[in-house]
Amino acid sequence: MGISKILVVGATGYLGPFITAASVRLGHPTFALVRPATARPDSSKKELIESFKASGITILEGDIQDHESLVAALKQVDVVISTVGGAQLRDQLKLITAIKEVGHITRFLPSEFGNDPERSVRLKPTDAVFQGKVKIRNAIKAAGIPYTFVNSNSFASYFLASLGQRDLTTPPRDKLTILGDGNAKVIFNSEEDIGTFTIKAVDDPRTLNKQLLIRPEPNIKSINEAVLLWENKIGHNLEKTYVPESEVLKQIEGIPFPNNISLAISYSVMVKGDQYFEPGPDDVDASELYPDVKYTTVDEYLNRYL
C-alpha cells in the first residue's frame, strides 16, 4: 500500500483543521466530510472550506446521521479520522456501522484526543465524555475494525495558554487560581503537534490496535512548574490562590451544565493527574516512534505570549 487516503469527519470543528493540515503537509490525499449546510456558500465556515479546497482537500458533503453519505465517502479513502465534538461522540456508532459495511478501511481513529478515558476519574459531569469514548472503543473492538486511539492529553491553547484558568485564553500576569496543590503532572501539546503525531501514526503497523501516547518529556509539567516557567519569563511572581480538592468537588456539584463538564475535566487533569500513568502493553509512545518530529515544548509555547 502507498500513502493512505484520509477522510476527516469533523474537519470543520476546533481540532479538525489541525488534523487536515497535518494530513496535507505529510502528503496524504485528504478528504473532509462536511455537512451540506456547513458547505453552503452562506455558511459561517465558508472561509475555512475555501482554505481546505485551496490546500487540495476534497470536500465530500455528508452527515454522520446519513448512512448513504458515509458509505459513499468511505469508498474513496483508506483511513478515517473522527474529530467530532463531545455532543456527537455516540453518533460515531453510525460511522462504525458504515466502516464495517464497506470492509476495506485500514485504520479508524475515533474522536479521542484527550485523556485515556479508561484511566480517568469517573464523575457524573464527565460521564458523557469519558464513558462515551469508552463505549466507542468497545464498539470498534467488537466490530473488528483496525484502530488507533490518540491520547493527545491537554490542548496547549486551552490549558497551557491560560495556565489552567478556565476564563482566560492568555497567561495571567498578576494572579491565578490553582486547582488542588498544583503538583499533579499534566501533559500539554500544541494542536499542530497533535496533528503531526496523529498523521504519522495512521499507516504505521506499530500503532495498529494501540493507544498512541503523545507525551514528550519536556511537555510533562505540573501547573506549579508551568507557572514558574512563566514567572521566570515575565520577571515577577504571580499571586496564587490554591483551591483544595474538596472545594473543587463541591464546585463541580454546584455549577450548571456545561461548565460542570470543563471543571470536572480540569479536576481529572490538574488535581488527579490522570494523564500521567504508567504505560501498559497496549500503549505506544509517539516520541519514541517518531523521534524526527520537531515538536513545540511547553517552554517554547509560552514564549508565544511574551
Q: Supply the residues annotated as catalytic.
A: 133
**In this structure, what is the dihedral angle of CA atoms 75, 93, 10, 273, given to the nearest 10 degrees?**
-130
For ligand NAP, give the closer residue by CB, 91 or 231: 91
Cα angle value 52/53/59 (rounded, 5°): 85
The site that binds ligand NAP (CB under 6 A) totals a number of residues, namely: 30
Residue 119, interface with ligand NAP (CB under 6 A)? Answer: no
Question: Site mask, ligand NAP, residues 237-276, x = CB under 6 A?
Answer: ----------------------------------------
Separation between Cα atoms, residue 226 and residue 178, nearest integer Å: 11
Query: Among the candidate windows 7-15, 51-59, 164-172, 285-293, which touches ligand NAP by CB under 6 A?
Result: 7-15
- Find where cell 482537500 sits: 57
- In whole angstroms, the minimum distance from the beta carbon of 236 to ligand NAP comes to 28
Across the beta sheet with 283-285, what order do the strands follow? Answer: 148-151, 210-213, 283-285
58-77 residues in contact with ligand NAP (CB under 6 A) are 63-65
Neighbour-count burial of 240, counting CB atoms closer than 10 A to its CB (0-12 exposed, 13-18 middle, 19+ buried): middle
Strand, coil or helix: what is 187?
A: strand
Q: Cα–Cα distance between 273 and 186 in angstroms, integer?
A: 6
Find the shortest distance in angstroms from Cβ 44 to ligand NAP: 9
**Contact map string, positions 21 to 40, toward ligand NAP, x by CB under 6 A:** ------------x-x--x--
Distances in Å between the Cα of 208 and the Cα atoms of 145, 173, 193, 236, 297 are 10, 44, 20, 47, 27
H runs (alpha helix) in 31-81? 36-39, 46-54, 67-74
Residue 16 found at the interface with ligand NAP (CB under 6 A): yes
Looking at the Cβ atoms of 3 and 168, the one nearer to ligand NAP is 168
Of 4, 7, 31, 45, the one binding ligand NAP (CB under 6 A) is 45
For the segment 92-111, give every residue that binds ligand NAP (CB under 6 A). 111
Shortest Cβ 235–ligand NAP spacing (Å): 29
Site for ligand NAP contains 190 (CB under 6 A):
no
Residue 86 in contact with ligand NAP, rule: CB under 6 A: yes
Choose, by CB under 6 A, the member of 155, 197, 267, 301 that binds ligand NAP: 155
Least spacing, CB of residue 84 vs ligand NAP, in Å: 4
Q: Which stretch binds ligand NAP (CB under 6 A): 85-93, 228-236, 275-283, 292-300?
A: 85-93
Residue 6's SS3 state is: strand
Span from 147-155, 167-175, 219-227, 279-287 in contact with ligand NAP (CB under 6 A): 147-155
Contact 85, 9 (CB under 8 A): no
Lookup: cell for 303: 514564549
How far is residue 259's CA from residue 122's CA, in Å, rounded to a whole number? 16
- Residue placing its CB nearer to ligand NAP in the complex, 136 or 145: 136
Looking only at Cα atoms, what is the longest distance across the chain?
59
**What is the end-to-end Cα distance of the chain in Å, rounded?**
46
- Which residues of the shown chain bind ligand NAP in the complex (CB under 6 A)? 9-16, 33, 35, 38, 45, 63-65, 83-86, 88, 111-114, 129, 152, 154-155, 158-159
